[in-house]
Amino acid sequence: MSRGGGKGPSLKDKLDGNELDLSLCDLNEVPVRELAALPKATILDLSCNNLISLPSDFCSLMHLVKLDLSKNRLQQLPLDFGRLVNLQHLDLLNNRLVTLPVSFAQLKNLKWLDLKDNPLDPVLAKVAGDCLDEKQCKQAAVKVLQHMKAIQAEQDRQRQRKLQAEREMEKKREAEQRAKEAQERELRKREKAEEKERRRREYDAQKAAKQEVEKKTKKEHVQSRKPASSSRAPQPARHKRSWSRSVLRVLLFVLLCVLCTLAACKLTELQHQPLCVSVNTLYEDVLAALQNHKTLQNMLQQNSQQ
């Protein structure tokens, strides 16, 4: 087996029942792949090597029941060290550990623990206490598990509080967003109502102006018709006077025509024409009638005087 790790056959040579001793092999790395091929090796001794850290896939060796990592230079354990749920006995004596991963609380089957000679955090060192005998090492396992479970619970509470705070913050942001959207909708609604009211006022103003113009036009039309009505009032009398004048003109024209005809029939050579003979005869008859009428009037006057 080399410094970097062992080969399959050499590891099998070191396997004694269920116990595999790799102590004092000057290992810098853990041969995880070869160890995984030996599920029967439930007891693993890696003490007195040069291990500074354990690879993350080391935690896949879930068949381990007893693990000795004492007298190495481990500064920390893998974060998922708690996957080794079957582990009952753990020796971490004389390493450089300050803290343990929170997943350590998942080692529910752990019955024995030695953390002596590590630069542990003072709180963890006080909890772990000494491991000078079997009883103290068992108490160390119980107390450390309880301590790590408390840390895990507190971290879970902090995580829950953080998640709750994030959810509340998200709800607050959503509420603010909804309020903002509602405010924007209300603003758009108000602007729309104001625009509608403005258009309605403009419509009412235009309608009122149109009615005012129509009223004014109607009034002017009525006023313009009043003089015409007053001027038409005396129209019948004027029409009557016009008719009388027309009749008088016709009579004068007829009289003039008669006089002209009579003069032509008396004074010109036309007096022997049949028409003129008739006209002259008629003239003489009319003249005789007028004379008789005058004589009758004189007689009546004389009788009345007697």
Q: Is residue 115 part of a domain?
A: yes
148 in Cβ contact with 100 (< 8 Å): yes
* Interval 140-165 mean pLDDT: 93
Q: pLDDT (tens digit, 9 = 90+) per residue, 30-63?
A: 999 999 999 999 999 999 999 999 998 999 999 9
Query: Three-state SS for 91?
Result: strand
Choose the final residue of a domain: 125, 155, 185. 155
Choose the final residue of a domain: 155, 177, 206. 155
**Confidence class for position 22, pLDDT limits 50, 70, 90:** very high
CB atoms within 10 A of CB 61: 22
- Is 245 a residue whose pLDDT tops 80? no
* Interval 180-187 mean pLDDT: 91
Which among 141-145, 224-228, 231-235, 269-273 has the top mean pLDDT? 141-145
pLDDT of residue 4: 43
Q: Is residue 124 part of a domain?
A: yes
Q: Is residue 69 part of a domain?
A: yes
Which of 59, 93, 52 is CA-nearest to residue 74? 52
Q: Is residue 291 part of a domain?
A: yes
- Is 301 a residue whose pLDDT tops 70? no
- Is 113 a residue whose pLDDT tops 90? yes
Structure-token match 């002209």, residue found? 260
List the single range of 207-221, 225-239, 255-269, 275-289 with lowest mean pLDDT. Answer: 225-239
Choose the final residue of a domain: 140, 155, 170. 155
- As a whole number, the mean pLDDT across the chain is 85
139 in Cβ contact with 116 (< 8 Å): no
Q: Is 277 in the same domain as 150?
A: no
- Is 236 a residue whose pLDDT tops 70? no
Q: Is residue 4 part of a domain?
A: no
pLDDT of residue 12: 85
pTM of the model: 0.56
pLDDT of residue 303: 55
pLDDT of residue 230: 47
Q: Is residue 233 part of a domain?
A: no
Q: Is residue 195 part of a domain?
A: no
91 in Cβ contact with 65 (< 8 Å): no
Domain that holds residue 123: 12-155
99 in Cβ contact with 76 (< 8 Å): yes
The CATH number assigned to the domain holding 89 equals 3.80.10.10
Q: Is residue 192 part of a domain?
A: no
* Interval 80-106 mean pLDDT: 96
List the single range of 7-21, 66-80, 129-143, 290-304 with lowest mean pLDDT. Answer: 290-304
- Is 302 a residue whose pLDDT tops 80? no
Domain count, the chain: 2
